[in-house]
Structure 1
């Protein structure tokens, strides 16, 4: 009798707990209604734009702040590598804040203990891990000059893992009865956000350190595609492209792709002329950046034979061109521009679906006419990942300048072993080299 009674009580408690958990987490299923549209016109523009229709008012607001953003981009290019680094980190933090804030607002989770604190703590841990890896590769000269930095470099991954474990244990200790499902949902929300924002911004920084051109050209392509797709769609758009974004049209999509390919070819050829754009960033122990080097073959003009079918077409207009001198990087830019105009926009479609799922118009209101920073970086992060993969697949090869810091960080005994192994390898591969040893 007592055993049966205990079983009944336990079943009742479980059922009650499940019902309470379901009621508590019902906000997960039904997002809050979006706020009513508000006038986003900046104060200094209200008087000038008051007589325009909302469509044209948005055109002028969006256009002005597009020019301001391009101006900021130009300023960062002028300031150089460290300005790019600072901008990438600041934008990453702001994008993370915008996405995490949506979770807090939509699910009304401000009362969850330690959740906001833990979200930012995991962001710090992720940045410490990724940027620590970057520092060991590109700041080797500075790290080797400081003993305490050598300690942090040697145990970097262990320290990163221990920091994460602290956050993991704090999350477990913060679990509250009747809030379990919601808390685990938000835990997953935070980690997916870290995967999207921190990982891809780290790849963006990696691209930058391989040469500023690997950041400027892809970013410019996405900007060009966004602007030209908007303009072509605004003036000529008639055919809807995708249901997730009703304002997107096929005319805008095709027009943006056409202008992006032309723009990418021209800007690539122009920037290849400047070693400061193409040289990998070499950062010394005094934190100065050396951008003076002999351009890689990718950035040197090369003669290419014109395909036969193009020569035939040119002869129809009395032109006979057998070969042309172009930069190999311009050919690579075709791949980048095709991706930026055909695949990268799906980052924007993904963001549109995300916003529709939670009934919000924009990720934030940081930039009038554009929304939040995440509204402008949804395609950039996807583009940065592609560029990084493309670099490692077709371009980037180990160089002595990058291997040397890794070798000097080894112990003397390991260096001798490496030397002997390399000597044996070279002697077997090219016997005539053996006379030099």
Structure 2
């Protein structure tokens, strides 16, 4: 899953991972200073104040981080767009500025800020909000499940690799849930066919398989009349 996210663009890996870290830290801080209302019996130290504070902090942090990385090709271009000549990347649709019309019920509120009811923004910022909501609302349940698992076996931590934090599983229980969500989200809403990646996969095949693909493509393109344009120099 991590490899697939990196292939889509490093930003799809860095932002979700950072959101979980932010949520974990800010939930602890808000819970430590303001926590009074217990959230769940499985993990008695968790509070509603920490949960809500971590959620708001994660959304704001996610938007700030996304905005900082959203124009940098090295973070948003897929790995296959790089070759010996450098970066040959056309920005994916998620990183191209798009116009969004404000819903009519919000027109009156929005006109106080500006007259034009159209917002110009890059879709990834909306994706970032969705990932932040998952990281702060659903993501912590990975930690709750891990807490219940440890209590069932009467252990405090999964290990002692990181002093004061337990084993690696104690740091990655929420990351596993977040990684699964981001992978499914990309596969469902983001991923589009990429001819660069297809060509790269073809070049990994044995020569005989490459020739078979060439023959099939040549036949199908000939039947479609596309080769006539190629021979005429149109492409």
TM-score (norm 2): 0.85
The alpha-carbon distance between structure 1 residues 272 and 421, as it changes in their structure 2 partners (threshold 3 A), is same
Supply the distance in 1 between the matched residues of 2:173 and 2:119 (Cα, whole angstroms): 37
Give the aligned partner of residue 93 of structure 2.
297
Per-residue CA distance 1:230-274 (angstroms, 9 max, x = gap)? 122112222211111001112211221122122212221221110
Supply the distance in 1 between the matched residues of 2:177 and 2:113 (Cα, whole angstroms): 43
Bigger fraction of residues in helix:
1
**In terms of Rg, which structure is larger?**
1
Supply the distance in 2 between the matched residues of 1:280 and 1:421 (Cα, whole angstroms): 28
CA contact (8 A) 2:81 2:87 kept: no
Supply the distance in 1 between the matched residues of 2:222 and 2:37 (Cα, whole angstroms): 66
What stretches of structure 2 of length at least 5 have no aligned partner? 231-235
Per-residue CA distance 1:171-222 (angstroms, 9 max, x = gap)? xxxxxxxxxxxxxxxxxxxxxxxxxxxxxxxx22331232110111001111
Supply the distance in 2 between the matched residues of 1:295 and 1:312 (Cα, whole angstroms): 34
| Aligned residue runs from structure 1 range 49-60, under 5 A | none
Supply the distance in 1 between the matched residues of 2:80 and 2:129 (Cα, whole angstroms): 28
Among 266, 269, 273, the residue aligned to 2:67: 269
Supply the distance in 2 between the matched residues of 1:272 and 1:283 (Cα, whole angstroms): 17
Tell me by how many angstroms 1:433 deviates. 2.6
Equivalent residue pairs, number: 230
Tell me by how many angstroms 1:307 deviates. 2.2
CA contact (8 A) 1:225 1:341 kept: yes
| Aligned residue runs from structure 1 range 239-258, under 5 A | 239-258=37-56
Supply the distance in 2 between the matched residues of 1:370 and 1:343 (Cα, whole angstroms): 21
TM-score (norm 1): 0.48
Per-residue CA distance 1:289-337 (angstroms, 9 max, x = gap)? x65623212112222222222221133x464342222111111112211
Tell me by how many angstroms 1:377 deviates. 0.9
Give the aligned partner of residue 391 of structure 1.
186
What stretches of structure 1 of length at least 5 have no aligned partner? 1-202
CA contact (8 A) 1:301 1:325 kept: yes
Supply the distance in 2 between the matched residues of 1:283 and 1:333 (Cα, whole angstroms): 23
| Aligned residue runs from structure 1 range 117-156, under 5 A | none
The alpha-carbon distance between structure 1 residues 425 and 336, as it changes in their structure 2 partners (threshold 3 A), is farther
CA contact (8 A) 2:81 2:196 kept: no
> Which one is further off, 225-234 or 367-376?
367-376
Among 312, 331, 356, the residue aligned to 2:108: 312
Among 213, 216, 226, the residue aligned to 2:11: 213
Give the aligned partner of residue 67 of structure 1.
none
| Aligned residue runs from structure 1 range 25-424, under 5 A | 203-282=1-80, 293-315=89-111, 317=112, 319-424=114-219
Give the aligned partner of residue 72 of structure 1.
none
Q: Secondary structure at the match of 1:233?
A: helix
The alpha-carbon distance between structure 1 residues 322 and 240, as it changes in their structure 2 partners (threshold 3 A), is same
Supply the distance in 2 between the matched residues of 1:424 and 1:258 (Cα, whole angstroms): 57
The alpha-carbon distance between structure 1 residues 343 and 418, as it changes in their structure 2 partners (threshold 3 A), is same
CA contact (8 A) 2:81 2:88 kept: no
The alpha-carbon distance between structure 1 residues 257 and 337, as it changes in their structure 2 partners (threshold 3 A), is same
> After the TM superposition, which parts of structure 1 deviate over 6 Å for at least 4 consecutive aligned residues?
none
Per-residue CA distance 1:113-140 (angstroms, 9 max, x = gap)? xxxxxxxxxxxxxxxxxxxxxxxxxxxx
